[in-house]
Chain A
Amino acid sequence: MSDAIQMIVMPKWGLAMQEGMVAQWHVAEGAKITKGQEIVDIETSKIANVFESPISGTLRRLVVKDGETVPVAYLIGVVAEESVTDAEIDAFVEDFKANFVFDAAGAGGPEPEDATTAAGRIRYLEMGDGEGAPIVFIHGYGGDLNNWMFNQEELSAGHKTYAVDLPGHGGSTKDVGDTGLRGLAAAVVAFMDTKDIAKAHLVGHSMGGATALLLALEQPDRVASATLVAPAALGDEINMDYINGFIEEKRAKKLRPVLEMLVGDPSLISKDMVEDVLKFKRLDGVDAALKKLRDALMPGGKQAGSLRDGLAGLKVPVQILWGEVDQVLPVGHSEGLPASIKVTRFAGVGHMPHMEKAAETNELIRALAG
């Protein structure tokens, strides 16, 4: 491809995504766009979200119009310098269309792999390359590596990145051991050992945020920085209706209102997301693992083992992100922290800032991880 003409293609959000619909462009042909700018709403059967431009320049052509559905990696827009003629862009687009081959199996993205670690089988997704410490993403209770679908690819531009499934979750071992948060932290370290990662920028959400924080406190030599997204273990309050509903509800109709507690805007929870959680919960060992983690981390309906007191002694940079309408963990847990910890709050956002405010979250992670 000529440097003068750059492509914007249909992103791959999550492992199962094969195609997406351009719901609405926010920019017109001829507009100057910048990297990270929200340029188009994209919908898949699983999720709808706004797509940030991966490049800067003049948007010369909207190849896919509002309402059209195309495969992953298909050309949706063309960015080019002023010197490029319309005829050249026409030829470029025609050439793309003539040569595009949809790779259904890969659909343009890497597949998760299994690592055999001291903590058992850990499934992970690796993306990107970079010189510095890699980024390791750690999901929350009941989540999996797919939770970072709006973050990992974006941040893999300058870093090697790994999203892991914690024990008891996704495709990893369903044996969560008997040591609660400590066991999860040990599993992350075991994964890092297996992949020869001396030190990582940790990005953890909720229970994964508590896991990252525990590592930052106790094994600072392994942690370059930690971005904690609505982390657990900063207070004792937690919405047990969410936790117990997540464990107990076995039907889509009953599970949906539980999952809607995760986000500020309930329409973000698609039918497929509910189905995926049900499928996860049907796997052998998951029910026992979820209950075991609940009983270890939230005995009697309160969070055990707050890490708040240790924060003043942190030896690595830590930042915290929180949604102001979080219904799972109260945003108040982000108050009264040492001044060295940067706290960013998002108005109208629930428990999933990394999905609900992906662009801002990615920018903050980039700012800390370099």
Chain B
Amino acid sequence: MPKKTYRQAINEALRQEMERDHRVILMGEDISGGMGAPGEQDAWGGPLGVTKGIMPVFTRDRVLDTPITESAFIGAAAGAAATGLRPVAELMFVDFMGVCFDQIFNQAAKFKYMFGGKAVTPLTIRTMYGAGFRAASQHSQCLYPLFTHIPGLKVALPSNAYEAKGLLATAIRDDDPVMFFEHKAMYDDEAEVPDEAYTIPFGEANVTREGDDVTIIAFGRMVNFANEAADNLEKSGISCTVVDPRTTSPLDRDTILETCEETGRVVVVDEAHPRCNMATDIAAMCAQEIFGALKAPVKMVTGYHCPVPFSPALEDLYVPNAAKIEAAVREVAGKGH
């Protein structure tokens, strides 16, 4: 199977869905570049080149460069979705959600409920998240817990290129608004990705490692660090199950609880700030549902309750990594290890 980067996988999913369904359109700031101006077209392809090359193979009216006004174009995308198109809007950095949040959580997320179940809103919002890019506090956050909180939104966190292509196709074909989170530090990461189109269902976790001692639940980019930690720990006799929930909404509670119950020792890895994040959500779930099976307190490996630092040294300290996960696993695994 051919190897492709996260960036290529997303680009390919967009192209294939646009070919498959003429109602799929793309919109966002600089996603192609040059629209409405006499100069070079498609010179830009998004800030990190993810959408480059798409506009020239389709028509200009399906790949729209928008003004630098998130409130306007995210709102327009929600309206377009409600009236028959299937827009994929790019909210460049999720950190910019503040200026268009009403359009997302009060409008798009509510249409179906408030219009008696008759409105469909097949809107996909692609957005970059995550630290490690030396992009400072306003371009490095992991705000997916905020969207997970909102009923009516679906939230996907692809952990590699294979997952990205399949989950994005599912997002675009879904009739509800989907927040699709792309980790900006992963665009060059490669995985085997089929050329053909495929979909990965939402709400079905992927168990990437199977072990007996400790269960690690990890989100997005953190899945890769959790796998790395599990492989290292295997050598010292601690075998871990690693679960990638793939989507935080819907959340595959069954697989998460089942795998946590099997080992009774749980580490949750979430790059977001530590309060009210996915790690606290999973920890609460374990406490409520499988308390009797737990052999140790649930351990969380997360960012800190501070803005993501701009100093490279501090930013590196901020982000969870394999070593931190290994230490947490050893802690919950107990003295025997």
Contact = CB atoms under 8 A, between A and B. Distances in A.
Contact of B207 (A174, A253, A279, A282): A253
A279 B194 contact: yes
A282 B204 contact: no
Interface stretch (B55-63, B195-203, B296-304, B324-332): B195-203
A367 B192 CA distance: 38
B210 A171 contact: no
Contact of B198 (A16, A171, A252, A279): A279
Contacts of A283: 194, 196-198
A282 B1 contact: no
B194 A250 contact: no
A216 B162 CA distance: 41
A16 B1 CA distance: 7
Contacts of A250: 201, 204
A266 to B, nearest CB: 15
A284 B16 CA distance: 11
Interface in B178-225: 192, 194-201, 204, 207, 210
A88 to B, nearest CB: 38
Contacts of B207: 252-253
B145 interface: no
A171 B162 CA distance: 16
Interface in A10-42: 15-16
A271 interface: yes
B191 to A, nearest CB: 11
B158 interface: no
A171 B204 contact: no
Question: Considering residues A15, A250, A271, A283, which has the most beta carbons from chain B within 10 angstroms of its beta carbon?
Answer: A283
Contact of A171 (B196, B197, B201): B196
Nearest to A276: B1
- Looking at chain B's contact residues, the main secondary structure is loop
Nearest to A111: B2
Nearest to A251: B204
Nearest to B20: A284
Given A15-B1, A252-B207, A282 B200 contact: yes
Contacts of A16: 1, 192
Given A250-B204, A271-B210, A284 B1 contact: no
Contacts of A252: 207
B166 interface: yes
A282 B192 contact: no
A129 B166 CA distance: 38
A282 B170 CA distance: 11
Interface in A240-294: 250-253, 271, 279, 282-284
Contact of B196 (A15, A251, A271, A284): A284
Contacts of A279: 162, 194, 198
Interface string B1-34: 1000000000000000000000000000000000
Given A250-B204, A251-B204, A279-B194, A284 B210 contact: no
Contacts of B199: 282, 284
Contacts of B192: 16
Contacts of B255: 251
Contacts of A271: 210
26 contacts: A15-B1, A16-B1, A16-B192, A171-B194, A171-B195, A171-B196, A174-B196, A250-B201, A250-B204, A251-B204, A251-B255, A253-B207, A271-B210, A279-B162, A279-B194, A279-B198, A282-B166, A282-B200, A283-B194, A283-B196, A283-B197, A283-B198, A284-B196, A284-B197, A284-B198, A284-B199
Given A250-B204, A251-B204, A282-B199, 15 more contacts: A15-B1, A171-B195, A171-B196, A174-B196, A251-B255, A271-B210, A279-B198, A282-B166, A282-B198, A282-B200, A283-B196, A283-B198, A284-B197, A284-B198, A284-B199
Interface of B: 1, 162, 166, 192, 194-201, 204, 207, 210, 255
